[in-house]
Structure 1
C-alpha cells in the first residue's frame, strides 16, 4: 500500500470520527449542560481571551511583579500569533460548521476562500487561542500547568457538543495554539538572553 493511499485512508477515518461525533452532538445540542458549557467556553473567544491576557498583564504591572507581567505579555503575544495562524488557515480552507452541514459532503474540508462564518469551521479558533494562552502561562508558572491545560482542553472540547466544530477542527486548533506558544517561548528566551531583562 502506498503512502498516498495510507494518507487517504487516515483522512477518511478522521472524517468518519468527525461525522459520528457530529451525529452524537446533534442529539444533545439543545441541552442545558451543553448550553452552559458553551457559554463558559466563550472565554476562548478573541475579545474575552484578550481581556484575560490584559488582566494578567495589568495585575503584574500593578503588583510590580515582573514574572506575572511577563506571563501576561507572553499570553497576549501567543494568543495573537495563534489567531493569525488559524485565520490564515481558515481563509484557505472551506468547511461547513456542524450546525450548518446538511450532508456528509458538507463536513469535508476543501480548498476555498469563503468569508462566511459558517464555512470557516476548520480550524477551531477557540481551541487555538485557549491553548496558546494556557501554554504561555504554564511556561512561566509550570506549577500551574495541569489546571491551565485542563482549562484550555475544556474550552476546546465544548466546541464539539455545541456543534460549532468537529473533533479534527479542535485538534488542529490545539496544535496551532501549542505551536504558537512554543514559538513565543523560543523568541522570549532569545530576547531575555540578549537584553537580560528580569521577565
Structure 2
C-alpha cells in the first residue's frame, strides 16, 4: 500500500514537473507574462508589507476602525503566511523551473541545501497574496471578486514565469488560506 502511494506521488510530481516546464518554456519570453510577472512582484514581502501598513495608516488617519482592522488583519495574515512559507522552504529543496538542472533537482526533497531562496516550494508570492486577499474579503465582502482575482493572477503567472511549478502554487495558496483562517480566529471581523 505504501509502495503504491509512493509510486502515485512520483507520477504526480513527474506530471507537475512536465507541466511547469512546458508552460514556462512556452510563455517565459511572452511580453504579457513578463509584464504580469513584474506586476506580481507587488506580492513580494516588502511591497506587501508596505501596502498593509498603508492601509493601517489610512484607516488611522480617516478614523475608520474597520479599515484599520483590515490593514492589521492583512499584515498579520501575510506575516503568518510568510513565516510558514519560510519554514517549509528551509525543509524542502526544489529547484525552480527556470533553473537548468537535472530532473531530480526539480523533485521535492528534504531540505538542508544552502541558498533556500532558490527553492521553488512553496510559492511565497501566492501564499502572501491569498492571505491578504482573504483578509480583505472577510472585512469587505463586496471586494471579494477583485481581490481574489488579483491573488489568482499573482499565483497563476508564477508558472509561465518559470519561478514555480503548479504544486508550488497550490501549496502557497493553501498556506495563505490557512494563515488567514488562523488570523480570523484570533482577530474576528466585527459585524
TM-score, normalization by structure 1: 0.89
Q: CA deviation at 1:180?
A: 0.2
CA deviation map 1:86-124 (0-9, x unaligned): 000000010001111423212100002224156411001
**1:97/1:118 contact within 8 Å kept:** no
- Aligned: 1:87 with 2:61: no
What does 1:1-16 correspond to in 2, within 5 Å? 2=1, 5-6=4-5, 8-16=7-15
Q: Cα deviations across residues 20-42 of structure 1 (Å, max 9, x unaligned)? A: 23123113212211110110100
Contact 1:86–1:125 (8 Å) recurs in 2: yes
Listed as ranges, the gaps of 5+ residues in structure 2 are: none
TM-score between both structures, scaled by the size of structure 2? 0.93
Equivalent residue for 2:144?
A: 145
Measured in 2, the distance between the counterparts of 1:62 and 1:15 equals 52
Runs of 4 or more, structure 1, over 6 Å off, are none
| Unaligned segments of structure 1, at least 5 residues | 193-197
1:50 paired with 2:49, answer: yes
**Corresponding residue number in structure 2 for 1:185:** 184
Partner of 1:111: 110
Number of residue pairs aligned between Structure 1 and Structure 2: 191
* Correspondence list, 1:128-167, <5 A: 128-167=127-166
* Change beyond 3 A, Cα 1:118–1:184: closer
